[in-house]
Amino acid sequence: MSASRWDRVADDLVGVLGAGAVRRERPIGPETTYRVGGAARVGVSLAADADLAAMADVLRVHRSGVLVVGKGSNLLVAEAGFEGVAVWPGRGFDWVAIRGTGLCAGASAGLPVLARQSAAAGLRGFEWAVGVPGSLGGAVRMNAGGHGADMAATLMRAEVADLASGCVEQWDPPRLDFGYRRSALADHHLVLSAEIGLSAGEVSESQAIIAEIVAWRRRNQPGGHNTGSVFTNPCGDSAGRIIEAAGLKGHRVGTASISRKHANFVIADRNGSADDVHALMCEVFSRVWAEFGIPLEPETRLIGFASGPWSVQAG
């Protein structure tokens, strides 16, 4: 699309969402945990009471791609940016409610907050989420997990807007079709809220589990700008072990390096480049493929890049 076409997209979105909600060339990269990467041609801060059907009409008329952005803790956005409309769930999406043993929250509620609040309310089963710095919406889309649990284990339902049609529906677990770090949700689906079914427990037990998880993460995972695990674990193995075995710990491409603490973490330098992170991921893939014949699959969502070597191998 030419610049003037994106101006028209932005103008039409202003018509349905208001001027304060829409911004041309809104940066995404600095809002991700990598703190690097480009901008969306148009960015929208979506309020919970926004007219989704009217917004969907605008996206459809302009045939615009859409990217929902949560906490950006699993996103790598190319320096060239995203050719489409990025949507941030904003005002009215960060509520949390505990009803009996049910934990209900809006899309932008943070997982660590939800883990601590449910533990403090005497609910067991969501402690694992304290170490995942994502939003509830992003966690549903990704089927985030850790420490032997994942979203699929306790999610009861999610309220999902289809940004292609404007329809809002309740999705149950069979429809979400969760797998390892995946769900049936596509790029045009926006999780509005979700309900998690927990069990009654002792506050002190849950808080002890949380403390242990926080300590484990500090011991085993690096700091710095990263998105956690870059590649998913191949069946029965660990991507970190394989990358380390390929001799890549500490390996650097420009402003991006493989963590010396955990080889499945890529660290971006301050003021670094998302394209360097991507180039390093491509090199890791190629070296591991050449050495072991294992096709690593990115866990980090890659936005705005030409397809990497992984898609060629997958084909």
Ligand X SMILES: Cc1cc2nc3c(=O)[nH]c(=O)nc-3n(C[C@H](O)[C@H](O)[C@H](O)COP(=O)(O)OP(=O)(O)OC[C@H]3O[C@@H](n4cnc5c(N)ncnc54)[C@H](O)[C@@H]3O)c2cc1C
Shortest spacing between CB 265 and ligand X, in angstroms: 8
Tokens of 282: 């491509």
d(CA 232, CA 227): 12
Q: What region, left, alpha or beta, does residue 230 occupy, with left being phi > 0 and alpha being psi -120 to 50 degrees? A: alpha
Question: Considering only residues 15-44, where is the footprint of ligand X by CB under 6 A?
Answer: 33
210 near ligand X, judged by CB under 6 A: no
The one segment of 3-11, 70-78, 167-175, 206-214 that binds ligand X by CB under 6 A: 70-78
Burial of 247 (0-12, 13-18, 19+ CB in 10 A): exposed
Provide the mask over 292-311, with x wherever binding to ligand X is found by CB under 6 A and - wherever it is not.
---------x----------
Residue from 37, 43, 81, 228 binding ligand X (CB under 6 A): 228
**DSSP code per residue over 206-256:** HHHHHHHHHHHHHHHS--SB--S-SBPPPTTS-HHHHHHHTT-TT-EETTE
Provide the mask over 88-127, with x wherever binding to ligand X is found by CB under 6 A and - wherever it is not.
-x-----------------x--------------------
3-state secondary structure of 123: strand
Question: Considering only residues 230-249, where is the footprint of ligand X by CB under 6 A?
Answer: none
Shortest spacing between CB 275 and ligand X, in angstroms: 18
The one segment of 13-21, 63-71, 112-120, 253-261 that binds ligand X by CB under 6 A: 63-71
Q: Between residues 264 and 273, which has the closer beta carbon with respect to ligand X? A: 264
Per-residue exposure over 229-240, b if at least 16 CB sit within 10 Å of its own CB, e if not: bbbbbbeeeebb
Residue from 130, 191, 242, 268 binding ligand X (CB under 6 A): 191
- Nearest-10 crossing angle of helices 111-120, 203-220: 150
Contact indicator for 56, 166 with CB cutoff of 8 Å: yes
- What is the DSSP pairing of strand 66-68 with strand 82-89? parallel
The one segment of 15-23, 130-138, 250-258, 277-285 that binds ligand X by CB under 6 A: 130-138
Residue from 64, 74, 118, 259 binding ligand X (CB under 6 A): 74
The one segment of 65-73, 95-103, 207-215, 290-298 that binds ligand X by CB under 6 A: 65-73
Q: Between residues 175 and 287, which has the closer beta carbon with respect to ligand X? A: 175
d(CA 296, CA 241): 12
Indicate which residues carry an active-site annotation: 181, 229, 299
259 near ligand X, judged by CB under 6 A: no
Contact indicator for 151, 145 with CB cutoff of 8 Å: yes
Name the site residues for ligand X (rule: CB under 6 A): 33, 67-75, 89, 107, 131-135, 137-139, 141-142, 144-146, 185, 189-191, 226-228, 301
